[in-house]
Amino acid sequence: MRPDLLLKVLAKFLIPFILIFAFYVQFHGDFSPGGGFQAGVIISAAAVLYVLAFGLELAERGIPLRALQYLSSTGILLYTGVGVACLLKGGNFLDYSVLLDNDVAGQHLGIILIELGVGITVASTLTLIFFTFAHWSRHS
């Protein structure tokens, strides 16, 4: 038996469940404990597990470093974009009530959008940090 077979089988089995749990934490975050930051950390934990089991080359074939850099700025752009949209619709910065006609629905939409931005940024930034460290230890 190859010594890394056990870890590979377990990682292949677990990573989908970890990702489902991350999305649950992300999108159920306004009714239960959770939110964008936690979901992003869980997603990047799945990425770290993938790299530990299958190696850096395969992981970078899936998500190149360039894509991670773009994603981490996309999240911040989404966050700020919601704030600016609130300004353009006549409210304060990040004042979600003006986003839709109904106050409560507007706040709901605003929270979900900025949490999505936080989640994308945290997941891609933490994965990027881990990839960079992995490269660094290989070259030195």
Mapped onto helix, strand or coil, the DSSP state of residue 93 is: coil
CA distance readout (Å), 5 to 1, 53, 134, 137: 7, 9, 21, 24
By CB under 8 A, is residue 136 in contact with other proteins? no
**Part in contact with other proteins (CB under 8 A); list of ranges 13-21, 29-37, 87-95, 96-104:** 13-21
Number of residues that bind other proteins (CB under 8 A): 7
Residue in 1, 2, 3, 101 binding other proteins, rule: CB under 8 A? 3
Burial of 114 (0-12, 13-18, 19+ CB in 10 A): buried
Cβ–Cβ under 8 Å, residues 86 and 96: yes
> Which token pair is 127?
């994965």
By CB under 8 A, is residue 14 in contact with other proteins? yes
Nearer Cβ to other proteins, position 7 or 58? 7
By CB under 8 A, is residue 10 in contact with other proteins? yes
Binding mask 66-105 for other proteins (x = CB under 8 A): ----------------------------------------
Cβ–Cβ under 8 Å, residues 107 and 117: no
Cβ–Cβ under 8 Å, residues 30 and 10: no
Residue in 2, 13, 31, 138 binding other proteins, rule: CB under 8 A? 13
Residues that bind other proteins (CB under 8 A): 3, 6-7, 10, 13-14, 17
